[in-house]
Amino acid sequence: MPPSQLRKTRASAAGAAPSPALGAPGRRPTPAPAVEQVDTGYLETLIGYNARRAALAVIDRFMVRMAAFELKPVDFSVLSLITHNPGITSRQLCNALGILPPNLVGMINALERRKLIVRQPHPRDGRAVGLHLTGTGQKLMRDAERTALEVETDASQSLSATERQTLIRLLKKIYL
């Protein structure tokens, strides 16, 4: 998904220029204009638009680099939470990542088939299953988290260290 061509130009002076209102029957003052340079100025004033574009840009880089580990972003998130929360349950993963339980089952099964994680009985709840990394999984995640750090550095290379911290702080204020 190439989100190219997102420069700002004034083709229609965003917000002004009432334009002739086509569709009104029997009226067509101008012979239909053509757009030379697309003006995305208005959308660029919206936080949601900018946050989504930024997220997609970083995630695209992330996917390219993580392909070497055969991990999609969601797989990495799941394995990372298991790494830092040994014994975490599927339900806890779903709550933390906003995934619905039926959609997590397949991912967990695939990671288990790859011998990256194992299911252990939960110590206090017979319904639940605790998830743990295998040795293989631990090794993979050490490499994967190092690569994730490289992606971060790449993606934020136009930001100073302070700006990067500020960006993360402000993003958290939006979603927390």
Partner DNA sequence: TATTGTTATACTCTATAACTATA
Partner DNA sequence: TATAGTTATAGAGTATAACAATA
> Nearest distance from residue 165's CB to DNA, in Å?
27
Q: Cβ(128)–Cβ(87) under 8 Å?
A: no
Q: Which of 27, 113, 127, 169 binds DNA (CB under 7 A)?
A: 127
The verdict on 48 binding DNA (CB under 7 A) reads: no
> Nearest distance from residue 92's CB to DNA, in Å?
7
Question: What is the residue type of 109?
Answer: N
Q: Cβ(130)–Cβ(119) under 8 Å?
A: yes
Q: Cβ(68)–Cβ(147) under 8 Å?
A: yes
Q: Which of 26, 48, 102, 106 binds a second copy (CB under 8 A)?
A: 48
> Nearest distance from residue 70's CB to a second copy, in Å?
18
Per CB under 7 A, which of residues 128..157 are in contact with DNA? 128-129
The verdict on 32 binding DNA (CB under 7 A) reads: no
Please state the length of the chain. 176
The verdict on 4 binding a second copy (CB under 8 A) reads: yes
In the DSSP assignment, the letter for residue 36 is S
Q: Cβ(147)–Cβ(153) under 8 Å?
A: no
